[in-house]
């Protein structure tokens, strides 16, 4: 059985962590295969968006496979520093949509936070148990979580190890929306289809601009936007008209009439 399954659907791919019997825990094999999978998708010019989810209905992923680590079959230092699935996601230049179908715990929580858009099933739950395990986060949770929900709420989660449910995650701004379990993948697929209807190069460039700017102080981020948008001045009236009539523009389903 493949620990990662990939379904290619035109311009997007669905990547499924496939260890449902172990709550999709991130074993060494799964971490390695996730990296290979996202590198392969990045090399595929037809794939512009990815959806990441877990097999079954119990877990997105329960995080690192502690049973494997406890047996000595995998090394914690390597798992954190060398076999980092978050870095693998970061090498994919298109948007990654997390379809969170159950629990996302600790390393699994970090993996969810590394995605660009989070859609959660009503059964989803989130927890950071690093403090309970006596470990420090190494895949970005300590920084990403506070930026997503605010520092006080992030401290509450990380310093207690308590779970929050999907409704609370939505209220706190951790996830974009919550849907019924049966609607999770259809909702993620609709969003992916909306994204691949955009101009392919702009899709990647705009994601990079948002991410790069978010890591900077506001003034520097504004300067970065000004720098990267400089090429707009070379787009004349004919080019605007051509783009207005392009399939990427006309594929849009939620735009006002006659708007650019």
- As a whole number of angstroms, the distance between CA 189 and CA 193 comes to 6
R_g (Cα) of the chain, nearest Å: 19
Following DSSP, what letter does each residue of 155-221 receive, concatenated? HHHHHH---EEHHHHHHTTSSSEEE-GGGHHHHHHHHHHHHHTS-HHHHHHHHHHHHHHHTS-HHHH
Q: How far are the Cα atoms of 76, 140, 213 from residue 152, in angstroms, in the given order?
A: 29, 17, 23
Q: Which CATH class is domain 4-196?
A: alpha beta
CB neighbourhood size of 57 (10 A) = 12
175: its two tokens: 């996830």
Per-residue pLDDT of the chain (260 residues), as tens digits, is 899 999 999 999 999 999 999 999 999 999 999 999 999 999 999 999 999 999 999 999 999 988 888 777 666 766 666 668 899 899 999 999 999 999 999 999 999 999 999 999 999 999 999 999 999 999 999 999 999 999 999 999 999 999 999 999 999 999 999 999 999 999 999 999 999 999 999 999 999 999 999 999 999 999 999 999 998 877 777 767 776 666 656 555 554 444 44
CB neighbourhood size of 22 (10 A) = 16
Domain boundaries, the chain: 4-196, 200-250
**Cβ-contact 36, 76 below 8 angstroms:** no
């Amino acid at each position: 059985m493949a620990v990662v399954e990939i379904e290619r659907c035109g311009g997007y791919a669905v990547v499924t962590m496939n260890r449902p019997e172990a709550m999709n825990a991130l074993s060494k094999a799964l971490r390695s295969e996730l990296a290979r999978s996202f590198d392969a998708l990045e090399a595929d010019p037809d794939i512009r968006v990815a959806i990441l989810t877990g097999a079954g209905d119990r877990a997105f992923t329960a995080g690192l496979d502690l049973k494997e680590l406890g047996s000595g079959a995998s090394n914690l230092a390597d798992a954190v520093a060398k076999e980092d699935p978050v870095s693998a996601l970061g090498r994919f230049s298109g948007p990654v949509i997390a379809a969170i179908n159950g629990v996302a715990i600790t390393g699994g929580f970090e993996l969810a936070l590394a995605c660009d858009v989070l859609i959660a099933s009503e059964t989803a739950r989130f927890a950071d148990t690093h403090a309970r395990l006596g470990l420090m986060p190494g895949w970005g949770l300590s920084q990403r979580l506070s930026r997503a929900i605010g520092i006080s709420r992030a401290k509450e989660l990380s310093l207690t190890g308590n779970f929050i449910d999907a409704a609370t995650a939505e209220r706190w701004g951790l996830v974009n929306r919550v849907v019924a379990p049966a609607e999770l993948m259809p909702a993620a697929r609709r969003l992916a289809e909306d994204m691949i209807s955009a101009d392919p190069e702009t899709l990647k460039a705009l994601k990079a601009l948002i991410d790069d700017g978010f890591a900077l102080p506001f003034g520097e981020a504004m300067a970065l936007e000004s720098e990267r948008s400089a090429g707009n001045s070379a787009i004349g009236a004919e080019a605007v008209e051509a783009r207005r009539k392009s399939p990427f523009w006309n594929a849009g389903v939620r735009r006002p009439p006659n708007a650019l």
